[in-house]
Structure 1
């Protein structure tokens, strides 16, 4: 097989995971890999699934978990020109998060699930029927509802005794080799150097493409222009800094790679619909509301809602 393409996963608002859905055709429907874990539920179409060195068939309800840097792809048998509004739901999360969950809940065999996912895990139809409505609910829920549903999903995956491993015994991912693909190297360079000046022409040289060929290849792999892609990563990093630190907005602006505050504010508002300061304020209001809700739910907590006569 050709070298898989790197997918840079952007997690919104500094959350530990990302859940989203997409249709078919879509830019991520290709032979690709990423450092994050993924739980992938097919909701429509059938076709061929590729995970590591495994090739098999899939149909609606196909539920698979892949580990970090494990190449994968689902190719639907859809006639040319036909568009499917939703083909799958995708839940992605980092290694640090799932390992932290394992430490918090030692009674769960999450380490076993983590280890098995290095070869890709296909879950049973029964597990899929239980997990599918949970993933739909998580997709529709706000960020306050995500953690509880995520733990329910993990519980059902762990209970599935009929799950099977996909890639062959001894199969090993080779992320260093995958990175020899020209654009993979460029995407990694962008992610590591967001705070620096990033010039499309210079990165075209780095990739070995001509500027025009680089622009076409970049859009095919990411679904965005070079400028839009870089700005989206910078705004996402700014969101994380705004919600996880007390740093000044001006400092964050320059830290994420913008060279002036007015441009940063304009780009940020175009993406989030609000200014950086308002975004931080609303996020903290949300956190305070969650804290009050948790406190009121504790045993023995007395809530006085008013007097009755």
Structure 2
């Protein structure tokens, strides 16, 4: 069975996503995503599937997975019953990894760990016990504390003596093949046609389903209704266009696929907490501060490169000064 694509939405003011969910839940299915994931089971037992690996899990099961590695955890919970919190999850993208590698020489210690994670890494209960309190605090942490906790978790995983690789050496995750699944066709179509009118009935036909079945199917895979998902994607596109600064807000409204300005303003305010024009002003302020910083740096370099001025030896303080070369 082909895995489904999970859409991982990391907040614009955060570097990675931290969350938890219960069981049953919409992401409990055979799926993949381009982000790395640290996955800790805190309740239930059952079967886990990572790549071509199948194994059992108990509370304390801790796994680090690389990009596009299909996975799923199926709990032994009687039908009709539910669990409020089954697992804790951290997800972080390749861009974040690349930025850390570029900025911090110490990050090279993490490279081998993340390379092995492409086949999935399972850690023992000793390491899991060290990770769990950090994970629980991370759920509610804000600001720099999030980074401290996340880096502490990675340090523990790097030094863990109780780790095993899950998928076989021959297993190769193939996201291009996975992308051929029905939901991924639908998401790709939406992404390419945001500026055009998008009808749920037409997407249902593309997926080969009735509108009601498609509506349930879409929400199960994305966590959003069709309209909510399309509006979110359109607002993201509008933010990119507003940052460019060349088009008017009205032009951006229509280029992002909204058919009237009042609805665009209302949706933008609901998702971003400000009007589009305010968002643009803040971006311009941010750009202006960058330009001012670059000018100050250039001015500083000019001063630094100027010849130093000292008094010639033996002259009084009011004497002639000569540049030192």
| Secondary structure class of the residue paired with 2:111 | helix
- Which residue is 2:232 aligned to? 232
1:225-264 equivalence runs, <5 A: 225-235=225-235, 245=243, 247=245, 250=249, 253-254=253-254, 256-264=256-264
1:109-128 equivalence runs, <5 A: 109-128=109-128
Evaluate the alpha carbon distance shift between residue 276 and residue 229 of structure 1 in structure 2; reply closer, same or farther with a 3 A threshold: same
**How far apart are the structure 2 equivalents of 1:134 and 1:10?**
22
- How many residues in Structure 1 have an aligned counterpart in Structure 2? 283
Per the TM alignment, residue 72 of structure 1 is displaced from its structure 2 partner at its CA by 0.4
Q: Is the Cα contact below 8 Å between 1:234 and 1:257 reproduced in 2?
A: yes
**How far apart are the structure 2 equivalents of 1:87 and 1:277?**
42
- Which residue is 1:161 aligned to? 161
Evaluate the alpha carbon distance shift between residue 92 and residue 189 of structure 1 in structure 2; reply closer, same or farther with a 3 A threshold: farther
Deviations 1:139-172 (A, max 9, x none): 1012443222222222111111321110011210
Per the TM alignment, residue 24 of structure 1 is displaced from its structure 2 partner at its CA by 1.1
Matched, 1:72 2:71: yes
Please provide the CA RMSD for this pair. Answer: 2.9
1:168-207 equivalence runs, <5 A: 168-207=168-207
Evaluate the alpha carbon distance shift between residue 170 and residue 202 of structure 1 in structure 2; reply closer, same or farther with a 3 A threshold: same
Instruction: Report the TM-score, using the length of structure 2 for normalisation.
Output: 0.76
Evaluate the alpha carbon distance shift between residue 233 and residue 43 of structure 1 in structure 2; reply closer, same or farther with a 3 A threshold: farther
- Which residue is 2:37 aligned to? 38
| Secondary structure class of the residue paired with 1:138 | helix
Q: Is the Cα contact below 8 Å between 1:249 and 1:277 reproduced in 2?
A: no
Deviations 1:85-143 (A, max 9, x none): 11111111111211222233333322212211110111222221222122222210124
Q: List alignment gaps of at least 5 residues for structure 1.
A: 289-309
**How far apart are the structure 1 equivalents of 2:162 and 2:179?**
35
Q: Is the Cα contact below 8 Å between 1:8 and 1:187 reproduced in 2?
A: no
Evaluate the alpha carbon distance shift between residue 77 and residue 99 of structure 1 in structure 2; reply closer, same or farther with a 3 A threshold: same
**How far apart are the structure 2 equivalents of 1:130 and 1:195?**
48
Per the TM alignment, residue 184 of structure 1 is displaced from its structure 2 partner at its CA by 1.9
- Which residue is 2:11 aligned to? 12
Question: Which structure has the greater CA radius of gyration?
Answer: 2
Q: Is the Cα contact below 8 Å between 1:14 and 1:239 reproduced in 2?
A: no
Evaluate the alpha carbon distance shift between residue 249 and residue 143 of structure 1 in structure 2; reply closer, same or farther with a 3 A threshold: farther
Evaluate the alpha carbon distance shift between residue 118 and residue 254 of structure 1 in structure 2; reply closer, same or farther with a 3 A threshold: farther
- Which residue is 1:298 aligned to? none
**How far apart are the structure 2 equivalents of 1:21 and 1:281?**
36
Deviations 1:29-74 (A, max 9, x none): 1111111111111121111111001111111221111111110011
| Secondary structure class of the residue paired with 2:74 | strand
Q: List alignment gaps of at least 5 residues for structure 2.
A: 290-325
- Segment of structure 1 superposing worse, 30-39 or 119-128: 119-128
- Which residue is 2:47 aligned to? 48
- Which residue is 1:133 aligned to? 133
- Which residue is 1:59 aligned to? 58
Per the TM alignment, residue 17 of structure 1 is displaced from its structure 2 partner at its CA by 1.3
- Which residue is 1:29 aligned to? 28
Per the TM alignment, residue 7 of structure 1 is displaced from its structure 2 partner at its CA by 0.9
- Which residue is 1:150 aligned to? 150
Instruction: Report the TM-score, using the length of structure 1 for normalisation.
Output: 0.80
Q: Is the Cα contact below 8 Å between 1:237 and 1:256 reproduced in 2?
A: yes
**How far apart are the structure 1 equivalents of 2:147 and 2:58?**
28
| Secondary structure class of the residue paired with 2:157 | helix
- Segment of structure 1 superposing worse, 143-152 or 119-128: 143-152
- Which residue is 2:311 aligned to? none
Per the TM alignment, residue 25 of structure 1 is displaced from its structure 2 partner at its CA by 1.0
